[in-house]
Amino acid sequence: MELNLQELKQTEFPVPVELEDNIAITSLSQLYNWGRRNSLWPMLFGLACCAIEMIATASSRFDFSRFGFEVMRATPRQADLMIVSGTVTKKMVVPIVRLYNQMPEPKYVLAMGACASGGGPFKEGYNVVSGMDKYLPVDVYVPGCPPTPQALLYGMIALQRKIDGQSIANGDDVPWYGVGPAEPTPVPVLGPDIIDPRQMDMIRRQAESAAMEMAALGQRELPAATQMVAAKATTQEAVAAAPAEVDSDALNFVLPTGGTPWSEAEDIREKRRLRALARKAVRATRRAAETDEG
């Protein structure tokens, strides 16, 4: 690659005009970022339709090695960038998180296409994870279904810009400039549905409230299997009952990106759910009263 010194130059230290092509004075951070962003090796890792466009981007017509994306590595140990190219299913998210944990730091995630960003057209599916950011911190989202090779290249350049803005001096900026090893992302477990270990407390509370509900309904002695189905049905009803109050402030509601979407807004939602359950209980008693009268 042709070395462009202008990229590295910092203006506050003047360089004599005649040496401008030969000398650049820069900060360590910038040098670091410069090296990093020009040698991002993506992982050879395709999920769905977008993977085909990713291959088209890697091949001769669009050729992302011009930007230092150079070679795709099949092993996570040699990769810096994970391009999540396609629909993330619940069954597949387990290996994906595991692969991400195996990538050496610094590591970046690019969500390619609507599916990887937010579930895409398949969002309503029972086996589809609605967005890679539910599990991994995503750096760049590239919309499109699928994004054309040029759209992907734009996203990759956007990632390079993001790297330019990071600082080695600031440990809070990105985890890997801090001190000590970073915690691996907990790998989800395939249970009755996918279980995120970070959600354990929440699941526990839900299980408890389901138990309480059962007790309230006097159906404690249901066999386990039916119980689960019954509990499922009640949550569905609760979910169906909830939406009325979400309309107006829906857009103001910000789903935290990366990390834990369930941490902050969690309490509000839990309250909302309980309120819905309460409403349902009121309705049920009213209905019971009506039938009694009738």
Partner 1 sequence: MVEALATEETIDAQTIDGAIAYLQTQFPDAVKLDDREGYQGLIVDSAQLLKVARAIRDDLGFDYLSSATAVDYLGVDDHMEMVYHAYRTSGGGALVFKAQTDREDAQIPSLVPVWRGADFQEREAWDLYGIRFPGHPNLKRILMWEGFHGHPMRKDWREAYYEEEVKPFDSRWPGGHVHRSEEKNVFGKNVAYPPEIDLNRLMDSSETSVYSSLGLGVDIEQIMDKDGFETNQLVVNMGPHHPSTHGVFRMVLTVDGETVTSLEPVMGYLHRNHEKIGERNTYLHNIPFTDRLDYISSMGNNHGYVLAVEQLMSLGRRYNPPTYRCEALRVMMVELSRIVNHLWAIGFWLNDIGAFFTPVLYFIQERERILDFFEAVAGSRMMCNYMRFGGLFADLPERIKSVSNLANDRVRDYNTMQFLTEMVNERIPRTIDELEQLLTQNEIVLERSIGVGILSAEDAINYSAAGPLLRGSGVAYDIRRADPYSIYPELDFDIAVEQEGDMYARYRVRVQELRESVRILRQILPRLEATKGESIWADGKVGAYAPRVPLGEAYGRVENGKGELGYYIVSAGGKNGSSNPWRYHVRAPSFINLTPMGIMSTGYKVADIVGILGSIDIVLGETDR
Partner 2 sequence: MYGTGLAKGLALTLRHFVDSFVDDIRYGMRKYHHSTDNFGIRQGTKTQGVITVQYPDEKVAVPERFRFVPFLIVEDDDHPTRAGKDWCTSCGICAKVCPPQCIWIVRGNDPVTGRPVPEPEAFFIDIDICMNCGYCAEYCPFDAIKMDHDYELASYDRTTHHIHDKERLSKPNSYWRKIAPTRAYDEMMVRGTWEHIDVAKEARRGQSAARRGTSQPSPQPAAAAPPAPAAPEAEAPASPPEASSAAAGATPWSEDEAKREERRRKALERKARRAAKQGGG
Query: Interface residues with partner 2 (CB under 8 A)?
Result: 60-63, 66, 111, 114, 117-124, 131, 133, 138-145, 147-148, 150-151, 153-155, 157-158, 162, 251, 254-257
Considering only residues 98-137, where is the footprint of partner 1 by CB under 8 A? 99, 115, 118-119, 121-130, 134
246 binds, among partner 2, partner 1, none (CB under 5 to 8 A by kind): partner 1
User: Interacting stretch for partner 1, rule CB under 8 A, among 6-14, 85-93, 162-170, 279-287?
Assistant: 85-93
* Interaction mask 133-172, partner 1, x per CB under 8 A: -x----------xx-x------------------------
Taking the complex as a whole, the smallest distance from the CB of residue 131 to partner 1 amounts, in Å, to: 8
Distance, CA of 17 to CA of 287 (rounded, Å):
87
Q: CB within 8 A of 124, min separation 6: which ones?
A: none
Instruction: Tell me the backbone φ, ψ of residue 154, rounded to 5 degrees.
Output: -60, -45
Taking the complex as a whole, the smallest distance from the CB of residue 232 to partner 2 amounts, in Å, to: 24
User: Is residue 45 part of the contact set for partner 1 (CB under 8 A)?
Assistant: yes
Taking the complex as a whole, the smallest distance from the CB of residue 209 to partner 1 amounts, in Å, to: 9
52 binds, among partner 1, partner 2, none (CB under 5 to 8 A by kind): partner 1
Choosing from 8, 92, 157, 168, the residue that interacts with partner 1 (CB under 8 A) is 92
* Interaction mask 218-247, partner 1, x per CB under 8 A: ------x--xxx-xx-xxx--xx-xx--xx
**Total of residues contacting partner 1 (CB under 8 A):** 83
